[in-house]
Structure 1
Amino acid sequence: MSEYPCFLFFILIAFSPVSYSQTVSEDGGESRMSEMMWIQQYNRHNGSNKPELKLDTAWLTVNSSLNFDLELYAQNDECWKCPLQWVATFKQRNVTTILVNTTHATSLALKRNLSNDHVEDICPFHKYFVDDADYWIFMNWTTYRNSICHVILANQPQSDLIPLLVTLGVLLFLRGVWGVLKYLFRNRNVQKMLCCFKSAEIADPQPLENTSTFTLQPYDGSVKDHNSMENGSMDNGGVKENGTTEKTAEPENKPKQRLRSLDCFRGFSLAFMIFINYGGGGYWYFKHPAWHGITGADLVFPWFVFIMGTAMALSFRSMLKKQIPRYKLLIKVIRRSVIIFALGIMYNTSFYRIDLTKLRYPGVLQRLALTYLILGIVEVFCARGEDSHQDRRWAPVRDLILFWPEWVVNLAILGLYCGLTYGLPVPDCPTGYTGPGGISEDGKYYNCTGGAAAYIDRHILGLDHIYPWADVKALYQTQFSFEPEGILGTFSTVFTCFLGLQAGRVLMYPGHCSRIKRWIVWAVITGALAALLTQCTQHEGWVPLNKNLWSVSFALATSSLAFAFLTLLYVCVDVFGWWDGTPFIYPGMNSIVIYMCHGLLGGCFPVTWKTEMIHWKLLIRDLWGSGLWIFVAYVLFKKKIFVAI
């Protein structure tokens, strides 16, 4: 059973390197020495005959001196409760090399087929193979009688994390150089030394006029008076250079500016999503799990949903303060949802000439549209324009008490999701089944993949209108595919967005400490609930983490990490001004344009190109592709082009 530590929900451990160890023989070192010398000699003369290494593979060579064939059965640990599958046959008195997967640990077993159709287990073992490693097993009568397979590592492969660490170091170095250059060019003494003209001074763009859209209003790069930050805005004026407060006649007309941390959060999520969609350097932890579990790739979509909810809280409050009628807000919600849904359909049909009888209805933008529609309608009737009841005894929790009807509605929506998931009868499947089906559990629930969620999608959307290439179908050998953006998961996605909206409501409280403490409390509560539901395990908990189903534990765990990350950005960007949020604020201001363009032009040069399947080359290509769209967003920002729906 694969265990996930409880602190998974606060620090994602999917990025942690695995500690590898070499299996060493317990019998005499002289025998092992002679085997290593034999391996070196064999590799010198016959190494070119080995199969070519591919991405996330290693060599496994079996040197058999037995007078009968050996059969190798194996199964990747990612496949939960799956039986071992036949992999290869090792001929008697022969040396045979095969490729083995290195993404997850693997259960293997060497077996012998006897004449009476009986299969004899010789040596089962469990191994986490390393990229580009050269593993050997020597099978002779001694190892056969003892039923022991000694796995020898014949080389010292480099860690596949090295390209990631080097790339991260280079990016941080370049960002540091850019920061130093900006400081030098903005320093007057340095300008005089360099004989720079005042017109050449590099300055941050001036703030734009307030709008009711979800775009960022850039500010002048300085950290404002802490007490001037209210309702998610920062005053651009009101503080003199000497630190005294300047009173204004009409404070309500002072230009306001949104918190940069929110747009930095949105832009980072979008940039990371593009990097993931372009391949993530070929690393398995930048890919979605086939079923239960969580990786870095599983964060980007829920984080984008979360920050959409945060923006909704600020936007609705702003529009109500301007006394915009609620029926106009409702029309705006419906219009925006329809446009986003239509863009999602266009995105699904942009890669090839589509057969309308097999058009995929769901998708990322479609789920965003439905989530925004449901929560937006609730917010139209429940949102408040002013912060009231500040003198009551329960004022410290007024973000909960004043909006109790909205909590009731959203908990009811979450209850509907749980009721259908665990209570809807599915023919020939146990009620409440949420497993992968297929060959899992010896095929006992072969056609039950996803339980009620898949059943609803198949009967409402039809098999021809759902995602046909789900990873669960390939790994678990299921008969049907599974729609990861299906109907039922939309309800739990609404709750993720609602938690993001709650993060935006926290901004009604004045003062940095008050906001930070509340976000941290929310991170702890949601993370603890997720840990409880999963029992800190990958598969065995009451409600495992599952992005395909958007399980309740998944919604809580990703929201916990979102609260924590938002707090970190708020402290670094808006409180202390250690970082101005660049370059991620730029895609955050034109998120819909950048998302559509990255998909429509994702296969074109110079966005991407074909390269060798090597991690460092794939990493450079995919980082280039995502960086290119950040640059496009920067150009749009400089030209003051902002597309909002």
Structure 2
Amino acid sequence: MGSACLTCASTYCLFLVSALSLVLLVSSSALATHHGDSPSRRSPKLKMDQAVLLIHNEIHEKFYIYWRSDQCYQCLFQTLSVTSPTKGRDTEMAIVDTRHAITLQLNNTSNVELCRVHYRFREFGNYSLWVKSNYSGTKDVTCGIIINYNPGYTNFPIVIAAFVYVAIFIVLTVGSFLLRWSPVKNWLCKQINPTETDRLINSELGSPSRADLCSQDAHLATWTTVPQRLRSLDTFRGLALMIMVFVNYGGGGYWFFKHQSWNGLTLADLVFPWFVFIMGTSIHLSLNSMLRKGNSRWKLFWKVLWRSIQLFLIGIFVINENYCRSPLSWSDIRIMGVLQRLSLTYLVVSVLELLFTKPLPDALPQNRTCFLMQDVVMFWPQWLIILALEAAWLCLTLLLPVPECPTGYLGPGGIGDLGKYPNCTGGAAGYIDRLVLGENHIYQHPSSNVIYKTTVPYDPEGILGTLNSIVMAFLGLQAGKVLVFYKNQHKQIMVRFFTWSVVMGVISAILTKCSMNEGFIPVNKNLWSISYVTTLSCFAFFLLLIIYFLVDVKRYWKGAPFFYPGMNSILVYVGHEVFENYFPFKWKMQDSQSHAQHLTQNLVATSIWVLIAYILYKKKIFWKI
């Protein structure tokens, strides 16, 4: 029966990948056909996040067109086009950005503003900007935008993909229900092994072990006799990991599946801190268990140190962007990175646990509600160190003098802040990395150069931000303490998770003033600002509450399919990075500017890693370091 279930589940996963590929490829062809004869796709050849703007000059004078994205906070206007009518030709063509609404400003040769237009262009569209003059004593210039060609709904492939996943989820849910329904279950068991089933029916004694395999009681027994490992934690980790894989593979080419240029959040900005958070939760559960078994702290320390070194070395030598360009070069190797930050965070938080934590026994008093803060007060030395680390981050960020930059600068540099500080990207965080690691050994293409046009390298996984990564992991560690301290008290655990979520949310609201750019410390993934940590911790506690309720309390959901990659997270992460450019994870597309084809490729690759994780789980193969 188990092998049959394995076959069925594998078939379902393969069906998911195949159906998704087929549907999205069909939609990709339809979209390509729809766009094939459109003016926006014929001349010029547009890239994703672009549209054509035809400029009709009816004032017959030379003027300049500047533009600025709404996403670019306090930015300089950039030159879009210079229109100078010659020989009766009064029409020019420009390419405009479609990721966010933009403001167009027209100035004459004396740099006097003629008019201004605010508009949200749609991807692959074709538009006309008409510049006209009215004469009523003084010259009055008016500007207006009309649509020549309105493109199709470029987010349609996402809708199709969502529909396919929901449909498959419904099929699996209905199938699971039918398998638990006695008539279907008995028929299925008979079809799988009719001889054995007939023998059981005709025998007075039967075979209890075989009968249990086809009974609901056996299903429940399998579920309840699994060791004390919480499936919700692996489900949470797997969810974060799969979003990370999808984003790293390109996210279908959609800008909202990529990292935010500076302040604010996108889907891509959620997953890494969630991974750090759940790592902290696992640290407490793991070390508490091993200390209760009598393992010495020194032995555990060396184990933690060795694992941290392994993670750091894998990040440098295995997952390194140098390999995309040429063989490994010591002159420009990136020292920090995702796994490097994970290794340092893991080391510090684990050492804190080994120094101060006293293992809690399995059997704790059931009534501990009178001491609401006891799970915090008991670990006050750790909290003092974490608060000291946060104080260090605040002091270095806000008080460290940075040459040619304002003290406490949190901006992106480039054209931001009206271009006053073009080389101050990241303020103290960028300065410390350049000073300690050197410009050649930090990330060369930060997300800030997309909108803010920055030119200096900046590493989002740099040294200073690692302090707040430790804080994030420690908050996850606190979630682990809640699970241990209130073991088997589901209501208390969920109340504590909800309370922590509210507290973190209130702190974020104060720090950011509930705004993207106007707060004391904005939410910023590149800086790993404290408001970024509290905001993502707020989300993490609440999401963990929901998953814990569904998976471990009510058992409405087993955590599939995220549970499986969550059980093999290091293997999946390293594997998806190493084999990113290999088939079947990537192939040559007919149209490299098609969201449908990119989304097909990225979702298929992500689904394949889920399938790989599922097979490894069934084979009991887990890569631990």
Counterpart code for 2:184: V
Cα deviations by residue, 1:511-548 (Å, 9 ceiling, x for unpaired): 21111111111111101111110111111110011111
2:513 pairs, out of 518, 535, 538, with 535
Q: Answer yes or no: is the 8 Å Cα contact 1:65–1:140 preserved in 2.
A: yes
2:473 pairs, out of 473, 489, 497, with 497
**Corresponding residue for 2:372?**
396
**Corresponding residue for 2:161?**
167
Counterpart code for 1:168: A
**Corresponding residue for 2:333?**
359
Query: Could you tell me how far 1:595 is from its partner in structure 2?
Result: 0.7
Query: Could you tell me how far 1:236 is from its partner in structure 2?
Result: 3.4
**Corresponding residue for 2:617?**
637
**Corresponding residue for 1:236?**
224
Q: Answer yes or no: is the 8 Å Cα contact 1:235–1:257 preserved in 2.
A: no
> Do residues 127 (structure 1) and 119 (structure 2) align?
yes
**Equivalent-residue separation in structure 2 for 1:98 and 1:588 (angstroms):** 47
Q: Answer yes or no: is the 8 Å Cα contact 1:572–1:578 preserved in 2.
A: yes
Query: Could you tell me how far 1:155 is from its partner in structure 2?
Result: 4.1
Instruction: Label 1:193 to 1:394 Cα distance change in 2 as closer, same or farther (>3 A).
Output: closer
**Equivalent-residue separation in structure 1 for 2:597 and 2:223 (angstroms):** 46
**Equivalent-residue separation in structure 2 for 1:549 and 1:564 (angstroms):** 24
**Corresponding residue for 1:553?**
531
**Equivalent-residue separation in structure 2 for 1:440 and 1:580 (angstroms):** 47
Where 2:422 maps in the other structure, the secondary structure is: coil
TM-score, length-scaled by structure 1: 0.81
Q: Answer yes or no: is the 8 Å Cα contact 1:269–1:300 preserved in 2.
A: yes
Gaps of 5+ in 1: 1-43, 202-219, 225-233, 238-254
Q: Answer yes or no: is the 8 Å Cα contact 2:132–2:141 preserved in 1.
A: no
Q: Answer yes or no: is the 8 Å Cα contact 1:221–1:580 preserved in 2.
A: no
Cα deviations by residue, 1:74-100 (Å, 9 ceiling, x for unpaired): 122232211111111234242333221
Counterpart code for 2:312: F
**Equivalent-residue separation in structure 2 for 1:400 and 1:294 (angstroms):** 30
Instruction: Label 1:47 to 1:290 Cα distance change in 2 as closer, same or farther (>3 A).
Output: closer
What does residue range 17-416 of structure 1 map to in structure 2 within 5 Å? 50-92=43-85, 93-113=89-109, 118-142=110-134, 145-193=139-187, 196-197=190-191, 236-237=224-225, 256-346=227-317, 347-348=319-320, 349-351=322-324, 352-386=326-360, 394-416=370-392
Query: Could you tell me how far 1:104 is from its partner in structure 2?
Result: 1.1
**Corresponding residue for 1:622?**
602
**Equivalent-residue separation in structure 1 for 2:467 and 2:218 (angstroms):** 39
Query: Could you tell me how far 1:619 is from its partner in structure 2?
Result: 1.0
**Equivalent-residue separation in structure 1 for 2:367 and 2:69 (angstroms):** 60
Where 2:259 maps in the other structure, the secondary structure is: coil
Query: Could you tell me how far 1:393 is from its partner in structure 2?
Result: 7.6
Counterpart code for 1:148: T
Where 2:82 maps in the other structure, the secondary structure is: strand
**Corresponding residue for 2:6?**
none
Query: Could you tell me how far 1:577 is from its partner in structure 2?
Result: 1.8
RMSD of the alignment, in Å?
2.5
How many residue pairs are counted as aligned between the two chains?
Answer: 555
**Corresponding residue for 1:207?**
none
Where 1:147 maps in the other structure, the secondary structure is: strand
**Equivalent-residue separation in structure 2 for 1:439 and 1:195 (angstroms):** 68
**Equivalent-residue separation in structure 1 for 2:578 and 2:132 (angstroms):** 57
**Equivalent-residue separation in structure 2 for 1:47 and 1:331 (angstroms):** 61
Larger proportion of helix:
2
Query: Could you tell me how far 1:420 is from its partner in structure 2?
Result: 0.9
Instruction: Label 1:317 to 1:149 Cα distance change in 2 as closer, same or farther (>3 A).
Output: same
TM-score, length-scaled by structure 2: 0.84
Counterpart code for 2:568: N
Q: Answer yes or no: is the 8 Å Cα contact 2:41–2:124 preserved in 1.
A: no
**Equivalent-residue separation in structure 2 for 1:449 and 1:73 (angstroms):** 24
Query: Could you tell me how far 1:499 is from its partner in structure 2?
Result: 0.6
Gaps of 5+ in 2: 1-36, 197-216
Cα deviations by residue, 1:357-406 (Å, 9 ceiling, x for unpaired): 11110000000000011111111012221156877785332211111111
Q: Answer yes or no: is the 8 Å Cα contact 2:498–2:541 preserved in 1.
A: yes
Where 1:258 maps in the other structure, the secondary structure is: coil
Q: Answer yes or no: is the 8 Å Cα contact 2:524–2:532 preserved in 1.
A: yes
Query: Could you tell me how far 1:165 is from its partner in structure 2?
Result: 2.1
Counterpart code for 1:269: A
Q: Answer yes or no: is the 8 Å Cα contact 1:472–1:481 preserved in 2.
A: no
Query: Could you tell me how far 1:336 is from its partner in structure 2?
Result: 0.9
**Equivalent-residue separation in structure 2 for 1:337 and 1:45 (angstroms):** 54
Instruction: Label 1:319 to 1:582 Cα distance change in 2 as closer, same or farther (>3 A).
Output: same
Instruction: Label 1:496 to 1:56 Cα distance change in 2 as closer, same or farther (>3 A).
Output: same
Instruction: Label 1:47 to 1:466 Cα distance change in 2 as closer, same or farther (>3 A).
Output: closer
**Equivalent-residue separation in structure 1 for 2:258 and 2:578 (angstroms):** 21
Query: Could you tell me how far 1:47 is from its partner in structure 2?
Result: 7.4
Where 1:99 maps in the other structure, the secondary structure is: strand
Instruction: Label 1:570 to 1:100 Cα distance change in 2 as closer, same or farther (>3 A).
Output: same
Counterpart code for 2:234: D
Where 2:543 maps in the other structure, the secondary structure is: helix
Cα deviations by residue, 1:170-209 (Å, 9 ceiling, x for unpaired): 10111221222233344441144457345599xxxxxxxx
Q: Answer yes or no: is the 8 Å Cα contact 1:309–1:497 preserved in 2.
A: yes
**Equivalent-residue separation in structure 1 for 2:303 and 2:371 (angstroms):** 31
**Equivalent-residue separation in structure 2 for 1:45 and 1:222 (angstroms):** 57
